Amino acid sequence: MVWSGGSSGWITPAIFALLSWAFLPQVALAQEGSVERARADNSDRHVTVSAEGKVSARPDMARISSGVISEAATAKEALSANSAAMEKLLTGLKTAGIAEADIKTTSFDVSPRYQHGRDGTAPRIDGYRVSNDVNVVVRDLARLGPLLDQLVSLGANRISGLSFDIEKEEALLDEARRKAVANARQRAELYATAAGVRLGKVLVISEQAVHVAPRGPMMARAMAAESVPLAEGSQEITARLTITYALE
């Protein structure tokens, strides 16, 4: 038995055991709470860095926006003339080796042509204009200059756009992303070492932007001696990421 110091005197072993079990859960809960707080404090230790990766490449394809504008006294005459010219243009493009899937109509418009009176009278319709535009993908840049010349000879009287592109751009984007991740880790390692801690696992990755832009001086070349001189230059693909790492 154990002396309790009270008037009853002694505490039997059975009563002492019950009292001990009553206090043990509270001690265990207190210890568990300390461990959870330590884990929470450790999870708040992190570093966030931003980095970018770049890849440059020469374009290997081009997109041409071209079409035909026809005018006549009546809408029917303008439409008939435009349809004949566009049929000749499309047939010529296919004969030149442009796949049908690489020719796409982008706009078609029929609108009246107005003549404005000098004496303040209301404008009157004096004819109609029909326009038909197509987007043409050229996958062999060596043929681009001659093809532009051919478009004009086939009846195209409007070339409103020319842009260069990379067919396998997504693969280059992935390469730029991998470089961005490597650059981010290198920067995070530097910060962690300088702070006297170790870099832990990745907590968050977010892509900020992917940018494709012309790079450096244009590298000009004539596609053919008798054709339009063009400069496709090069393109720079940039991926920007923000990554958060845990610190140990």
Q: What is the 3-state secondary structure (H, E, C) of 174-213?
A: HHHHHHHHHHHHHHHHHHHHHHCCCEEEEEEEEEEEEEEE
pLDDT, one tens digit per residue, over 96-107 is 999 999 999 999
Supply the pLDDT for residue 29: 40
Q: Mean pLDDT throughout 182-187?
A: 96
- Of 3.30.110.170, 3.40.640.10, 3.40.1190.20, 3.40.50.360, the CATH number of 46-58+169-247 is 3.30.110.170
Query: Taking 50 as the threshold, does the pLDDT of residue 225 lie above it?
Result: no
Q: Mean pLDDT throughout 18-26?
A: 48
Give the lowest-confidence range in 7-11, 74-78, 177-181, 216-220: 216-220
Task: Enumerate residues 6+ apart whose C-beta is below 8 A from 143.
Answer: 96, 97, 223
- Of 3.40.50.300, 3.20.20.70, 3.40.50.1820, 3.30.70.2970, the CATH number of 61-165 is 3.30.70.2970
Supply the pLDDT for residue 106: 93
